[in-house]
Amino acid sequence: MPRLAASLTELHIRKAKPKDEAYFLSDGNGLVLWISPAGRKSWRVRYRLPDGSRPAPATVGHYPEMSLAEARVKAVEVQRDAKQGKTTAGVRKARQEVEAVADEELAAEALLRAEIEHASFRAVSGRWMAEKRPSWATETYRKARLVVDSYLVPKLADLDMRRLETKDVRPVLVEMAKETPQLARKARQYLGSIVDHAINEGLRPDESRLRLDRILPTYRSGHMPAVTDNDGKLGEVMRAIDAHENRVVRAALILAALTAMRSGVVASAQWKEIDLDAGEWRIPGKNPDGTNRMKTGQDFSTSLPEQALLVLREMHERNMGGEYVFPPQARQNSPHLSRDALSKALRDMGFQGEHTTHGFRASLRTLGRERLEIDVDVLEAQLAHAPKDEVEAAYARVKFREKRREVMQAWADYLDGLRVGVKVIQLKHQST
């Protein structure tokens, strides 16, 4: 004998919560309470027609508009009319409501899914980047896209921004900090801004910012890591670069070391900027879209030492007509080598916390002055630091062009000497 279902009570009905999929609670005698993922509670009646068939259950009402007691009465009426084969209003209406309610519930579920997707980290971060894009430089947008798409979205994509908490993002940032500490700090900055965007959209209350300040390990404040006082260590760096298995990354690191140009400028170098015959690299201050290519926004040129020309000619032989000197590597979406590939290479070679690609600028500024006695003004001109005024800028470009060619070849020879372990004779430079 089949076990009879326990009858429902008002308390059971009120406590019934929606789940990921629709489910029902049985009251017995063919009456069930159907609960949709959207939380709608409907009374449905199972019945049998005179030919013995069982059509789809008839929806006879919704809770709380129809009470449990009223639903039980309606269930008896529907089953009686169906058994007698009557096309009464009850059975006819029940059949019509099956389709109407199904459509209504599908619409409600679709709306719920749309609301959840709209509030997801994936969607909010996408709208945040779209809003910021017009005011960002190309490189700023590229880095934000890299961090969000490659590190944050894969871990946080489906999390609801309406309920996002600090504990949800902490493991992601901590894991990033182990491998890419600089990008982890950027990720923390971006997360705070994305949460602010969600607040501005009304998805979160004003006081619901995340506590992100002390999540990451404390790093020494100041400039990026650079070897500035240890010839032996800088020699290790140059030998490791020289032995790097990826020839594109190797060449880009050598160019960064020999010219002291910023890593983003090096990675995006174009052949039309480089004159191999004249040994000159002429860098436009602006990108075609008006954003800065050089930090100052001013056109800049640097001589290319013989060692730099050697690796550039190697790249030219490999180029196959490409626009950029350093083509993108595996899994890189940019049209040229990612500047982060240079920093990653130095970390992988064991120099994390000791030296970065940007650190070659500090190495030239300090060791060029102390070991080679290069004039400070010449160093500042080579590093493309912003002059105090236009007159000084024009003066530096004219006065130091030949001097910079001389000292940058001396710098390249100095690094070559460290690489092979040969003591470099200190060079004296006459005042200009």
> What percent of the chain has pLDDT above 90?
37
Q: Which of 67, 101, 118 finishes a domain?
A: 118
Q: For the chain, how many structural domains are there in total? A: 3
pLDDT band at 390 (very low <50, low <70, confident <90, very high): low
222 found inside a domain: no
Count of alpha carbons within 13 Å of 226, Cβ hemisphere only? 17
Q: How far is CA 287 from the centre of its chain?
A: 23
Give the whole-angstrom CA distance, residue 59 versus residue 96.
9
**Cross-strand bridge partners of residue 58:** 45
Neighbour count for residue 180 (Cβ, 10 Å): 20
As a whole number of angstroms, the distance between CA 402 and CA 298 comes to 19
| Owner of token pair 């489906």 | 158
| Structural domain includes residue 337 | yes
Specify the CATH number for the domain of residue 55. Answer: 3.30.160.390
More confident residue, 42 or 4: 42
Residue that terminates a domain, selected from 87, 118, 149: 118
How far, in Å, CA of 211 to CA of 167, rounded?
9
The least confident of 87-91, 174-178, 244-248, 285-289 is: 87-91
Mean pLDDT across the chain: 83
Looking at the fold, whether 304 and 404 belong to one and the same domain comes out as yes
Domain boundary among 118, 152, 177: 118
Q: Which of 76-80, 276-280, 349-353 has the lowest mean pLDDT?
A: 76-80
Write down the H helix ranges in 228-286: 231-242, 247-259, 263-267
- Distances, alpha carbon 308 to alpha carbons 280, 409, 411, 415, in Å: 10, 10, 11, 12
- Residue 431 in any domain: the answer is no
Q: What is the CATH number of the domain that holds 156?
A: 1.10.150.130
The pLDDT of residue 242 is 94
**Residue 171, Cβ neighbours under 10 Å: how many?**
11
Domain interval for residue 324: 231-420
- pLDDT value at 432 more than 50: no
Of 214, 164, 163, nearest to 188 by C-alpha is 214
Q: What is the pLDDT of residues 22-65, one digit of tens each?
A: 898 988 888 899 898 888 888 888 887 777 777 778 888 889 88
Residue 213 domain-assigned? no
In Å, how far are 299, 322, 394 from 390, measured between CA atoms?
Answer: 13, 36, 6
Q: Assess whether 360 and 347 both reside in one domain.
A: yes
Please check whether residue 210 lies inside any domain of the structure: no
pLDDT at residue number 426:
46
Give dist(CA 359, CA 225) in Å, integer. Answer: 6
Residue 65 — φ and ψ, nearest 5°?
Answer: -55, -40
The domain that holds 322 is classified in CATH as 1.10.443.10
Q: Would you say residue 303 lies in a domain? A: yes
Classify 160 in phi/psi space as left (phi over 0), alpha (psi -120 to 50) or beta: beta
The residue-averaged pLDDT of 298-327 equals 90
Which pLDDT does position 428 carry in this prediction? 41
328 has pLDDT over 50: yes
> What average pLDDT does the segment 64-93 reach?
75
Strand ranges inside 254-341, DSSP E: 274-275, 280-283, 300-303
Confidence of residue 86 (pLDDT cuts 50, 70, 90): low
Place of tokens 């020494």: 220
Residue 208 lies inside a defined structural domain of this protein:
no
Q: How many CB atoms lie within 10 A of CB 385?
A: 13
Q: Regarding predicted confidence, which is higher, 396 or 238? A: 238
